[in-house]
């Protein structure tokens, strides 16, 4: 059974033309909706969410005034492709935003828990790795990120040792 849905923004608008199109398409039941502002299609992520919800309920979407028809394989492919495209755009915008923040000196991610003092002490204690991590209040994975199995500094350690002391380093050493 085909069910139709038609919507207008104000009560002054007429639903007749839309209802006629749905009846011609074979809709046996038609829902009319008069609502200002709230609609499917204002943002693509919202459409994707609604479509996923409908799909889980076994409902397909066919837009009469466009080429969207998730009852067909091609229609589903087009919709999924658009959804992936939207996800890629969001990812790309996020990466650009993070890069812009980095150029302004803002760092993202977790704050650095390793200090120069901790690193130098940990390198000296690497014979007993578990004790070194506990002694300097860092996890074993953090310790391995800075010091290799031969007690030599890794790339992250070299960066930390090369940079100038910060107020945070001074506070951590106190």
DSSP string, the chain: --EEEEEESSTTS--HHHHHHHHHTT-SEEEEEE-SS--TTSSHHHHHHHHHHHHHTT---B-TTSS-BTTSHHHHHHHHHHHHHHHHHHHHHHHHHHHHHHHTT---SSPP---HHHHHHHHHTGGGHHHHHHHTT--HHHHHHHB-TTS-B-HHHHHHHHSPP-HHHHHHH-
The answer on 146 and 96 residing in a single domain is no
The answer on 99 and 86 residing in a single domain is yes
| pLDDT, average across residues 114-139 | 77
Q: Percentage of the chain with pLDDT > 90?
A: 1
The answer on 77 and 47 residing in a single domain is yes
The answer on 94 and 51 residing in a single domain is yes
Q: For the chain, how many structural domains are there in total?
A: 3
- CA distances (Å), origin 50, targets 6, 55, 59, 81, 93: 16, 9, 11, 16, 23
Domain containing 59: what range? 43-109
The pair of structure tokens assigned to 60 is 């397909």
The answer on 47 and 35 residing in a single domain is no
54 inside domain: yes
70 — pLDDT class (breaks 50, 70, 90): confident
The answer on 101 and 64 residing in a single domain is yes
Q: How many angstroms separate the CA atoms of 111 and 116, rounded?
A: 14
171 inside domain: no
Question: Would you put residue 77 in left (φ > 0), alpha (ψ -120 to 50) or beta?
Answer: alpha
87 — pLDDT class (breaks 50, 70, 90): confident
Instruction: Measure the CA dihedral 62/65/68/69, to 10°.
Output: 30
The answer on 19 and 61 residing in a single domain is no
Q: Percentage of the chain with pLDDT > 70?
A: 86
Domain finish residue from 75, 93, 109: 109
Structure confidence at residue 171 (pLDDT): 58
172 inside domain: no
Q: What are phi and psi of 110, to 5 degrees?
A: -70, 150
148 inside domain: yes
Structure confidence at residue 129 (pLDDT): 61
What residues are annotated to the active site?
Answer: 9
The answer on 55 and 12 residing in a single domain is no
Query: 36-59, pLDDT tens digit by residue?
Result: 766 666 677 777 788 788 888 888
In whole angstroms, what separates CA 149 from the centre of its chain? 36
Domain finish residue from 93, 109, 125: 109
| pLDDT, average across residues 74-93 | 81
168 inside domain: no
Q: How many angstroms separate the CA atoms of 74 and 16, rounded?
A: 30
Q: How many angstroms separate the CA atoms of 12 and 31, rounded?
A: 18
């Amino acid at each position: 059974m085909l069910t139709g849905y038609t919507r207008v923004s104000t009560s002054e608008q007429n639903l007749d033309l839309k209802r006629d199109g749905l009846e011609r398409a074979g809709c046996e039941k038609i829902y009319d909706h008069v609502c200002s502002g709230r609609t499917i299609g204002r943002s693509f992520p919202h459409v994707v969410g609604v479509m996923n919800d409908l799909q889980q309920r076994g409902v397909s979407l066919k837009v009469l005034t466009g080429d969207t028809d998730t009852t067909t394989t091609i229609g589903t492919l087009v919709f999924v492709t658009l959804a992936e495209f939207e996800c890629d755009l969001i990812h790309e915008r996020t990466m650009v935003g993070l890069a812009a923040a980095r150029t302004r000196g803002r760092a993202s991610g977790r704050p650095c828990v390793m200090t120069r003092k901790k690193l130098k002490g940990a390198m000296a204690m690497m014979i007993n790795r578990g004790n070194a991590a506990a002694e300097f209040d860092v996890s074993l994975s953090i310790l391995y990120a800075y010091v290799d199995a031969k007690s030599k500094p890794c790339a992250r350690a070299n960066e930390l040792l090369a940079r100038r002391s910060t107020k945070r380093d001074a506070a951590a050493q106190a």
